[in-house]
Amino acid sequence: MHDKSVAQLGEGLRDKQFSSLELSHCFLDRIARLDGAYNSFISVDEDAVLAAARAADERLAAGTATALTGIPIAHKDIFCTNGMRTSCGSRMLDNFVPPYDATLITKFNRDGAVILGKTNMDEFAMGSSNESSYYGPVRNPWDTTLVPGGSSGGSAAAVAAMLAPAATGTDTGGSIRQPAAFCGITGIKPTYGRVSRLGMIAFASSLDQAGPMARSAEDCALLLNSMAGHDPLDSTSSELATQDYCSQLGDSLQGLRIGLPREYFGEGLAAGTASCIEAALKELEALGATLVDVSLPHSHLSIPTYYVLAPAEASTNLSRFDGVRYGHRCDNPVDLHDLYTRTREEGFGAEVKRRILVGTYALSAGYYDAYYKKAQQVRRLIKQDFTSCFEQVDVIAGPTTPGPAFALGAKSDDPLAMYLEDVYTLAVNLAGLPGMSVPAGFVADKPVGLQLIGPHFAEARLLNVGHRFQQATDWHTRRPASATGEAV
């Protein structure tokens, strides 16, 4: 059962080929046996999983099931779960048990999905390799000496290793798409505001967005049907009506105009990755699409713009973690200043501290105009570049990452090299656009991802392109040997 897609599992449950209880036992057994090699989960509550599975089986028997009823889904440990630890990968929240569910969790519970567990992540979603977690690094199932990508690396690894049929992630600057590419799975970051952020612990509030991660575009569409929609409790949630994201999956790509930004195919792109992307584009062309050269002239400013704005927002959001109301608290503080100082020193890791310092500096008196205000102005230019492109094309395509997954520890001491891993993904968040990564080949047995970018609220179009590509290729069906026990 573990090798079936979400769509196949849903059909099997409805046809009574197996029960949700049997399915949940299957994945719990795999986590117990295999996750020691990957470290993809932080928390798994077996009793809660089985109780939810029994409730799902009752719904299936009563005929009130939805497409996701009984399907076990892993959740990034950034989403608040009532009665279950939500750590955000940090010592600061190691003892935090929320009294409520994030809206996203509420929606999955409404549809009868089973919470399989909470997945490992870079601390407070700050990282591109999943090495900054308080609970240790996650390892890539394709090669456990490699990183899985970050910050949603635990979710990506769990899906790739078939420890979960699907998972949720968050994407602030590429944190769904980059680990999806490194782990050979599919992941989509919806338009900013398409999925509620209520109960999702904030990193950078104008950039964060939740999305699904699974092995195929079809499965991502099924999850997005549950996740998307207006939330009156989230002021950034879009009121635009959602659609059935599965309804356009089979549409023809005939006449689709795909833009190829020249800035995405120049210096910095590894030759092997470039070859995989070129082959994928030829496949899309064979399916009827037309390739069009376009330009995103300000894309080279994405990294400096992002690494002013995101840390600035993070320094504000993370100021609430002070040891007073919840989370880690230092022992025996002598006064309020000592409480704040030692709590934050002990609770936060190195990367989080680095970004808080950078963000606080950018927002400080005398530097606000030079850094934060200037970055916001450049952000507008980046968004205008995309607007101009989408007047010429329907979708933009290119590499998700400059190269395949790198070795654990290879860039830990070089923050700039780590930040460059997101060079093709950051601009999408700055512009609030939907972006998607689909498996597009291998370089030396390491997965490569094709990135698809659409106009605002064009998730159905991206999923359609991804699905048709996956119907014509088999990259998304490959499985890592570490999870199967055999060569793939």
Q: Give 420: exposed, middle or buried? Use CB within 10 Å, 0-12, 13-18, 19+.
A: middle
Q: Which residue in 43, 175, 315, 437 is the catalytic one?
A: 175
Token reading at 303: 């990294």
Reported as a single tens digit per residue, the pLDDT across 239-266 is 999 999 999 999 999 999 999 999 999 9
CB 130 within 8 A of CB 42: no
HSE-up of residue 152 (Cα within 13 Å, Cβ side): 38
pLDDT tops 70 at residue 488: no
Does 460 have pLDDT greater than 50? Answer: yes
pLDDT at 486 exceeding the cut of 60? no
**Nearest one of 182, 223, 225, 227 to 209, comparing CA atoms:** 227
76 is known as an active-site residue? yes
CATH superfamily entry for domain 6-258+391-484: Amidase signature (AS) domain (3.90.1300.10)
The pTM of the full predicted model, rounded to 2 decimals, is 0.97
Q: Which residues pair with 75 in a beta bridge?
A: 118
The pLDDT of 415-435, averaged and rounded, is: 95
Assess contact for 5 and 219: CB atoms under 8 A.
yes
* pLDDT score recorded for residue 179: 98
Catalytic choice (5, 19, 40, 76): 76
pLDDT score, position 487 = 36
Give me the mean pLDDT over the 415-433 stretch: 95
Vertex 157 angle, CA 418 and 50, to 5°: 140
Cα 346 to its chain centre, rounded Å, is 27
The string of pLDDT tens digits covering residues 293-315 is: 999 999 999 999 999 999 999 99
Dist CA 125 CA 202 (whole Å): 9
415 falls in which pLDDT band (50, 70, 90)?
confident
What average pLDDT does the segment 11-40 reach? 98
Query: Of 483, 484, 466, which Cα lies nearest the Cα of 475?
Result: 466
Mean pLDDT of the chain: 97
Query: pLDDT tens digits, residue range 433-458?
Result: 999 999 999 999 999 999 999 999 99
Q: Which residues contact 211 (CB under 8 A, 6 or more apart)?
A: 168, 169, 170, 171, 176, 187, 188, 189, 190, 195, 220, 224, 227
Q: What is the pLDDT of residue 416?
A: 86
Segment 380-406, tens digit of pLDDT: 999 999 999 999 999 999 999 999 999
Q: How far, in Å, CA of 482 to CA of 347, rounded? A: 34
| Mean pLDDT score, 199-225 | 98
Label residues 304-332 b or e (16+ Cβ within 10 Å = b). ebbbbbbbbbbbbbbeebbbeebbbbbee
Span 329-353, pLDDT tens digits: 999 999 999 999 999 999 999 999 9
Q: Looking at residue 418, what DSSP letter applies?
A: H
pLDDT on residue 259: 98
**205, burial (CB in 10 Å: exposed 0-12, middle 13-18, buried 19+):** middle
pLDDT tens digits along 150-197: 999 999 999 999 999 999 999 999 999 999 999 999 999 999 999 999
Beta-carbon contacts of residue 89 (< 8 Å; ≥ 6 apart): 42, 77, 78, 120, 121, 122, 123, 124, 125, 132, 133, 134, 135, 151
How many Cα atoms are found within 13 Å in the side-chain-facing hemisphere of 378? 21
What are the angstrom distances between the C-alpha of 44 and each of 34, 74, 164, 247, 403?
14, 9, 12, 34, 33
374 is catalytic: no
- In the annotation, is 87 catalytic? no
Nearest-angstrom CA–CA distance, 314 and 307: 11
Choose the weakest-confidence range: 101-105, 187-191, 484-488. 484-488
Percentage of the chain modeled with pLDDT above 90: 97
